[in-house]
Structure 1
Amino acid sequence: MAEKKAVKSFLWGALAGAVTGAVAGLLFAPKKGSELRKDIADTAHTVGEKTAEIGRKAGATASSLARRSGDWAEGIRSRFGKRDKAEIASIADDGSAEDAADDQ
């Protein structure tokens, strides 16, 4: 959950920084009003596309992590059968999963 919040915060920060930088650069460039408005619209469109792309990549990464975590949990569950949750968590935490499986 913390990773998801960190990714979301990063994306918002990146978006805010990109928009602020683009707008500042355009406003300080010596151009006619119509050219400036067109440049701002084009930049906003580009930033929107990039943000959507980053969001898709972050979503795919989060899905992959969730799938791998589920696979890992299923492997632990199938490997240790009817052991209680506290015992399984203890084994997983201390890295002695192979030793415990051999004991069965």
Structure 2
Amino acid sequence: MSEGNWVYVLETAELVDGEKKALVVDGQRIALIKKGNELFAISNKCVHMECPLSKGELEGYIIKCPCHDWRFDIRSGEFLDARELKVDVYELQVSDGKIYLKIKGEN
């Protein structure tokens, strides 16, 4: 596994199907979500009022913000009602049962 911006965050065994875990990694609020055998990592701040998406309801690949019901696709980060709005999506890798996220640097 290359180092660089990859950061260890969790063991795969610590997440069950449908679980949403709020993390703070390198100062960034991230929601780690397990859907079936897939893992997704998105910003844990809704683009509307920064409500925590990890507290929202997950239906299929759609997470609904708990504050105002804004709906986002966890695969792409797109807001379903205005696709030009998005939350950040983070690349992840699993190695030896450990989950690593690629953290974006400051621009």
TM-score by length of 1: 0.20
> TM-score with structure 2 length normalisation?
0.20
Larger helix fraction of residues: 1
Larger Rg: 1
Higher strand share: 2
